[in-house]
Amino acid sequence: MLQIGIRQPLVIVSFTRFGAYLAEPGREQERVLLPKKQVPPEASEGDQIEVFLYRDSQDRIIATTNTPAITLGGIGMLTVKQVTRIGAFLDWGLEKDLLLPFAQQTYPVREGEQCLAALYVDKSGRLCATMKVYPYLQADAPYDKDSRIEGIIYDSSPQFGLFVAVDGKYSGLIPRKEVHGALAPGQRITGRVTKRLPDGRLNISVREKAYVQMDADGALILKVLDEYDGVLPFGEKVSPEVIDRTFGISKAAFKRAAGRLLKQGRISISDDCIRREEPTPSKKKKS
């Protein structure tokens, strides 16, 4: 049985002025056209050719010797060629662009951008793209705790956090408690594995371990203070939401970094403000 969306070997059963008709051995009554420009010059009846099947603009199944960027159930980064009233059309290496319906977008895509998408067959029997790639990702990532990873955020959940395709094919998650700052779907990230779950999926953080991250967070606090003339209008009881909005970090991370800056004499904190200070130089002992 002919199946769209995959590469498969078929046999030439006859020629026409439009190209060659292909079929599976023993099922010659079910045939598909390979356009003339794709028929090898030396081809003859009985030859076997590996082709990819999809539907053309008139909804007919057609064969091509070209290899698309993704096949059925596969995932890849595809470029958005056009956004229309029915969805976006993606370049996947074939003459007919691939439809990404609005209902299958996890965030609005724009022309010229790339998005991570999987290939599936919709209810009408057509090949379409989906950005809801969770079911297509592998759960056997070759990474353990503290491994460095790269990935792309493809979806978000208020309950769970941000879903990440590690290396574009493995299932990862930035848990909700780790989501701070400007992280959002469509963003490429680098991070580290904080936990490998029993099923092979990964929990991820884009931040370093606390003792390493404190210096970077401290520098960030000083930078933001400098941008506001050395004073911010909130004190120790500031809410986590204000900390996240101002610095893009958790309140726990802020308290660790601010505590270090306090000890160094680089900031002061009162009930209603945080102030940038110049540390007092330590006096040298007389010999």
Dump pLDDT digits (tens) for 246-268.
888 888 888 888 888 888 888 88
Q: Give the separation between CA 63 and CA 38, rounded to whole angstroms.
A: 9
Beta pairing, strands 75-84 & 98-101: unpaired
SS (H, E, C) the chain: CCCCCCEEEEEEEEEECCEEEEECCCCCCCEEEEEHHHCCCCCCCCCEEEEEEEECCCCCEEEECCCCCCCCCCEEEEEEEEEECCEEEEECCCCCCEEEEHHHCCCCCCCCCEEEEEEEECCCCCEEEECCCHHHCECCCCCCCCCEEEEEEEEEECCCEEEEEECCCEEEEEEHHHCCCCCCCCCEEEEEEEEECCCCCEEEECCCCHHHHHHHHHHHHHHHHHHCCCEECCCCCCCHHHHHHHHCCCHHHHHHHHHHHHHCCCEEECCCCEEECCCCCCCCCCC
287 belongs to a structural domain: no
In sign, the C-alpha dihedral spanning 23, 24, 25, 28 is negative
192 belongs to a structural domain: yes
69 belongs to a structural domain: no
Q: Write down the pLDDT at residue 135.
A: 95
Same domain flag for 14 and 60? yes
150 belongs to a structural domain: yes
Between these two residues, 107 and 177, which has the higher pLDDT value?
107
Between these two residues, 260 and 168, which has the higher pLDDT value?
168
Q: Write down the pLDDT at residue 170.
A: 96
Two tokens at 243?
Answer: 């900390």
Q: Write down the pLDDT at residue 163.
A: 97
Same domain flag for 191 and 170? yes
Band of pLDDT at residue 280, cut at 50, 70 and 90: low
42 belongs to a structural domain: yes
Phi, psi of 67, rounded to the nearest 5 degrees:
-105, 120
Query: End of a domain among 110, 133, 156?
Result: 133
168 belongs to a structural domain: yes
Same domain flag for 201 and 160? yes
Q: What is the pLDDT of residues 206-255, one digit of tens each?
A: 887 666 677 788 888 888 889 988 888 887 788 888 888 888 888 888 88
Band of pLDDT at residue 287, cut at 50, 70 and 90: very low
Decide if pLDDT at 82 tops 50.
yes
Two tokens at 71?
Answer: 């096949």
Same domain flag for 179 and 227? no
- For the segment 159-176, the average pLDDT, to the nearest whole number, is 95
Say how many domains are in the chain: 4
Q: At 234, which CATH number?
A: 1.10.10.10
Q: Write down the pLDDT at residue 182.
A: 80
Q: At 17, which CATH number?
A: 2.40.50.140
1 belongs to a structural domain: no
Same domain flag for 269 and 218? yes
Same domain flag for 190 and 144? yes
- For the segment 158-185, the average pLDDT, to the nearest whole number, is 92
- For the segment 190-200, the average pLDDT, to the nearest whole number, is 92
Asked whether 261 and 268 are in contact (CB, 8 A), the reply is: no
pTM equals: 0.75
Q: What is the pLDDT of residues 107-154, one digit of tens each?
A: 999 999 999 999 999 998 999 999 999 999 999 899 999 999 999 999
- For the segment 47-51, the average pLDDT, to the nearest whole number, is 95
Q: Give the separation between CA 133 and CA 104, rounded to whole angstroms.
A: 10
Decide if pLDDT at 12 tops 70.
yes
Two tokens at 31?
Answer: 């045939």
Query: End of a domain among 205, 227, 247?
Result: 205
CA torsion, points 150, 155, 160, 162, in degrees to nearest 10? 30
Q: What is the pLDDT of residues 124-134, one digit of tens each?
A: 899 999 999 99
Between these two residues, 208 and 175, which has the higher pLDDT value?
175
- CA-nearest of 266, 240, 270 to 255 is 240
Query: End of a domain among 151, 183, 205?
Result: 205
Q: What percent of the chain is predicted at pLDDT more than 70?
A: 95
Full residue range of the structural domain in which residue 124 is found: 75-133
Residue 20 β-bridge partners: 15, 34
Cβ-based burial of 146 (10 A; exposed 0-12, middle 13-18, buried ≥19): exposed
| Number of Cβ atoms within 10 Å of the Cβ of 252 | 12
151 belongs to a structural domain: yes
Over the chain, what is the mean pLDDT?
Answer: 90
